[in-house]
Amino acid sequence: MLTTKVGDLKTSRLALGTWAIGGGTWWGENDDNESIKAIRASVEGGITLIDTAPAYGFGHSEEVLGKALEGIRDKVCISTKCGLVWDTEEGAFFFEKDGYTVRRNLSKKSLMKEVEDSLRRLDTDRIDIYITHWQSVDEFPTPVEETMEALLALKEQGKILAIGISNTSPEILSEYLEYGKVDLVQEKFSILSRAKREVLFETTEANDVVFQTYAPLESGLLTGKLGRDYAAPEGSARSSNPWFASDRFSAALDMLESWQPLCEKYGATAGQLAIAWTAALGDRISVLCGARTVEQAQSNIKGAEIELSAEDIDLLTKTADEAIAKSETE
């Protein structure tokens, strides 16, 4: 298993994402026992970084992860997030889901409460990587200096070990870096969605910040398991992904069909090739993939173990470029 370093933490380059394990209308209901088996299979397969967030199932994902890691907590690094709250009216309105009103709040007061709630749900004494989930907005502005003051205080207390930010910009990342070390940036990224890394690359590289990709399989689109008649359920996580719109969806499926010779060459699925392509971007990349079953976990691990030739990396990139261009002209 390829590895990287997030701050002082050595982790597997492939990380397990647990958004779907939270269930709800985003992903549908889950069998928690199957989720626990998937988490444990991931650890047994060499994954040492597991990502979650309070907003994933409104605490449920964190609770399931805490149960799954009973007795094996020290084998893995846990990352969770802060800045999205639903138990207070303080903050900028973000969205409503499953009967909850979620607000953005990155104030020091809120973060100090949030970390205690996450520690309790995760049944742990520390959070290895603490990530600001979404950034402050004008409706409830919190200075980056205040947010970093809270994060650095939590680090000094030993409650968190490394600092990350998500859904950001080069300007906001640079402002965080004015006040302290940022160890990880988590952004949406796949072979079909590369813009965020391109705009952040110079800043992350210059400051030794790991770039962690979320949705590298485009919410399951790149697994190759969805037929051309598939329609994302209204209100699901996929329904807001532009690659599930009819014109882009068709272009993506055409691309996946062109991958079949490479699938045969490597004895791999399309999804595993997508993971391998992402992992091959460099040793400062962390590839975050979700799994709700043992089979999915094992499939992701196999993808991270594939070593693509430089020629095949270029070929995959070319087919994706063509799919992007086709989707933009239709």
Instruction: Give the DSSP letter of residue 263.
Output: H
Element (H, E) at 287: strand 285-290
Q: Rg of the chain over CA atoms, in angstroms? A: 19
Instruction: Give the DSSP letter of residue 259.
Output: T
User: Do residues 200 and 211 lie in contact, with contact meaning Cβ atoms separated by under 8 Å?
Assistant: yes
Residue with tokens 């004494």, as numbered in its chain: 125
Catalytic one among 56, 130, 214, 266? 56
Strand partners, 227: none
What the block records as the tokens of 171 is: 């300007």
Neighbour count for residue 291 (Cβ, 10 Å): 23
Query: Which candidate, 233, 183, 252, 173, places its Cα nearest to that of 10?
Result: 183
Strand partners, 226: none
E-state strands within 68-177: 77-82, 84-85, 92-97, 100-104, 127-132, 160-166
Instruction: Give the DSSP letter of residue 224.
Output: T
Residue 179 among the catalytic residues: no
Question: What is the DSSP secondary-structure string of 46-65?
Answer: T--EEE--TTTTTTHHHHHH
Strands 127-132 and 160-166: parallel
Q: Which positions are catalytic?
A: 56
